[in-house]
Amino acid sequence: MFRELGDYANDPIEGMFARLAADKFAGKIDLGIGVYRDQSGKVPVMQAVRQAEKIMLDKRLSKSYMTPFGNLAYCRDIERLVFGADHPVLAERRIVSAQTPGAGCALRLGAEIVHDLSPESRVWASTPVWFHQLEFFTKAGLDILPYRYYDRENSAPQFDAMLEDLAGMRAGDVLLLHGCCHNPTGHDLSLEQWQAVTDVVLGTDAIPFVDIAYQGFGRGIEQDVAGTQLMLAQVPQALLTVSSSKSFGVYRDRAGMLSIITPTDAAGTTGIRRKLRDSARQLYFMAPDHAATVVHEILSSSELEQLWRDELDDLRQNISEKRAELRRTIEAENPGFDAGFIGQQLGMFSCLPITDAEQRTLEDEYHIYMLPDARVNVAALNAARAITVAKAFRAIRDRRA
Ligand SMILES: Cc1ncc(COP(=O)(O)O)c(C=O)c1O
């Protein structure tokens, strides 16, 4: 059986990480992996998380099994964080949630449930797309259809083209959207555009699947979910995934949530609850609890929540300064080039307007590594790295002339 296995050298993401690991140059720059780094290049642990962990240690919490729903107190907290207190989905109790091992598992679990219930549903995903996201759906057996979202060559959003493509959705198709800080482009829809997409969803009877992985990284904790709230107040049914990896900096501890927003005319939520429980159990049995309890400790103490909010505000400010710096540095090194898009985009990522071959040159000659579509993790930059990237970008462009 195992003799048949090829190597995975052709996987664009794994291939890049293999080349990065093999590069012995001391000053190599990893702009690939999606983690926030402070000025010294470290991935910091939030003080609110440290304090919550101390409280948890003092409480001598149980390590007994949970259920496939995971930590339901965490789910209630995250629902509140995403919807606020008065949203109709919460008021009408049209939501069934499970805590998952991160949003990656939540996406896979959601895909499995969609496939079980409606295998003919097609999943509409943005171009460009976060590459791993597609795998969760294709592995579940679902077909993917692309919709235009962002023209990377010209660093320009393609909203009209997006609407044109989405007009092709059929009833029961799934529309994959990023709640905020779109991965990989950093380009988000305005509230008017969320409304226009909502109208298409309502007109086609498609089902939105909103993925929120960066709440608090874009405009603010509440602002980053405004589009999601707007849409989910109007559609009869939806899926939602939320990650705590970035917003709480608990990446490796794995906490996320899958929610199913039940149809307005459904006869209760019992069947959906069973389906969610059974699918989670069949896929991974149950989620780890540590990070979910950390988040719950933070969000059930007004002091810790305030500390977390302040830390997240600082982090967002820091990213926006890094964006401004990268823009300035690129424009200084490349007279006449407008890098304004880097300043306008939100969250950790932006895509550079370079070809795949040019991206490979950045690796081979400048030791700068990015994910497919020249996705730069702006949050992994500091002043020195920004200059290196800007100079390499100029060298690439000079060669075009
Ligand atoms: C858009 C998006 N969704 C989901 C995830 C998965 O997050 P996690 O599994 O760490 O919670 C990521 C991670 O990069 C992401 O960018």
DSSP string, 50-113: HHHHHHHHHHT-------TT--HHHHHHHHHHHH-SS-HHHHTT-EEEEEESHHHHHHHHHHHH
Q: In this prediction, what percent of the chain has a pLDDT beyond 90? A: 90
The 10s digit of each residue's pLDDT in 116-137 is 999 999 999 999 999 889 999 9
Cβ burial 319-333 (10 Å sphere, 16+ → b, else e):
bbebbebbbebbbeb
Are 16 and 32 in contact, with CB atoms under 8 Å apart? Answer: yes
Alpha carbons 341 and 210: distance in angstroms, whole number: 24
Q: Is the CB of 215 under 6 A from ligand 1?
A: no
Active-site residue flag, 314: no
Q: What is the mean pLDDT of residues 58-76?
A: 96
Q: Is the pLDDT of residue 4 over 90?
A: no
Q: Is 183 in the pocket of ligand 1 (CB under 6 A)?
A: yes
Mark 166-188 as b/e (b = at least 16 C-beta within 10 Å): beebeeebbbbbbbbbbbbbbbb
Q: Please give the share of the chain, as a percent, with pLDDT higher than 70.
A: 99
Alpha carbons 268 and 186: distance in angstroms, whole number: 38
Report CA(133)–ligand 1 centroid distance (Å). Answer: 8
- Would the CB of 103 count as within 6 Å of ligand 1? yes
Radius of gyration of the chain (CA): 21
What pLDDT was estimated at residue 198? 98
Tens of pLDDT along 322-375?
A: 999 999 999 999 999 999 999 999 999 999 999 999 999 999 999 999 999 999
State whether residue 401 is helix, strand or coil: coil
Q: How confident is the model at residue 99 (pLDDT cuts 50, 70, 90)?
A: very high
For the chain, the average pLDDT equals 95
**Using CA positions, which residue lies closest to atom 14 of ligand 1?**
34
Give the tens place of pLDDT for each residue, 245-295.
Answer: 999 999 999 999 999 999 877 777 899 999 999 999 999 999 999 999 999
Q: Is the pLDDT of residue 3 over 90?
A: no
Centre of ligand 1 to C-alpha 268, Å, is: 30
What pLDDT score was predicted for residue 266? 75
Residue 396 Cα to ligand 1 middle (Å): 31
Name the amino acid, one letter, at 130: W
What is the number of the ligand 1 atom nearest to the C-alpha of 103? 11
pLDDT for 9 equals: 60
Catalytic residue among 77, 165, 188, 211: 211
Indicate the CATH number for domain 2-44+315-400: 3.90.1150.10
| Residue 247 beta carbon below 6 angstroms from any ligand 1 atom | no
Whether the per-residue pLDDT at 8 is higher than 70: the answer is no
Is the pLDDT reported for residue 211 higher than 70? yes
User: For the chain, give me the number of helices (H) and strands (E)?
Assistant: 15, 13
Assess whether 211 carries a catalytic annotation.
yes
DSSP assignment of 326-388 equals HHHHHHHHSTT---HHHHHS-SSEEE-S--HHHHHHHHHHH-EE-BGGGEEEGGG--HHHHHH
Fold of 50-302: Aspartate Aminotransferase; domain 2 (3.40.640)
243 Cα–ligand 1 center, Å: 6
Q: Please, which residues bridge with residue 243 across strands? A: 256
30, 188, 246, 289: the active-site residue: 246
> What distance in angstroms lies between residue 183's CA and the mean position of ligand 1's atoms?
9
C-beta 34 within 6 A of ligand 1? yes
Active site residue 391: no
pTM of the entire predicted model: 0.96
For the chain, residues classed under CATH 3.40.640.10 are 50-302
Which residues, in sequence order, are CB contacts of 261 under 8 Å at separation 6+?
89, 94, 95, 232, 235, 237, 238, 239, 240
pLDDT score recorded for residue 400: 87
pLDDT tens per residue across span 14-50: 889 999 999 999 999 999 888 998 878 889 999 999 9
Q: Where in the chain is the domain with CATH 3.90.1150.10?
A: 2-44+315-400
Nearest-atom index, ligand 1, CA of 102: 11
What span, in angstroms and rounded, lies between the C-alpha atoms of 242 and 82? 8
Dihedrals phi, psi of 375, to nearest 5 degrees: -75, 120
What DSSP assignment string belongs to 20-48?
HHH---TT-EE--S-----TTS--PPPHH
Omega before residue 184 within 30° of 0, cis:
yes
